[in-house]
Amino acid sequence: MLESKAIAKYIRTSPYKSRRVLKQIQGRQYKEARIMLELMPYKACKIIIKVLDSALSNIEQKSDRNIDREKVKIIEAYANKGPVLKRFQPRAQGRAFPIRKPTCHINIKLEV
> Can you tell me the distance from the alpha carbon of 4 to that of 62, in angstroms, rounded to the nearest whole number?
8
Q: SS3 letters for the chain?
A: CCEEEEEEEEECCCHHHHHHHHHHHCCCEHHHHHHHHHHCCCCHHHHHHHHHHHHHHHHHHHCCCCCCCCCCEEEEEEEEECCCEEEEEECHHHCEEEEEECCEEEEEEEEC
pTM reported for the whole predicted model = 0.88
| Residue spans per domain, the chain | 3-111
Give the class (CATH, top level) of 3-111: alpha beta
Q: What is the pLDDT of residues 13-33, one digit of tens each?
A: 999 999 999 999 999 999 999
- The mean pLDDT value for 102-112 works out to 94
> 28-79: per-residue pLDDT in tens?
999 999 999 999 999 999 999 999 999 999 998 888 777 888 889 999 999 9
Task: Convert the pLDDT of each residue in 82-97 to its tens digit.
Answer: 999 999 999 999 999 9
The whole-number pLDDT of residue 108 equals: 95
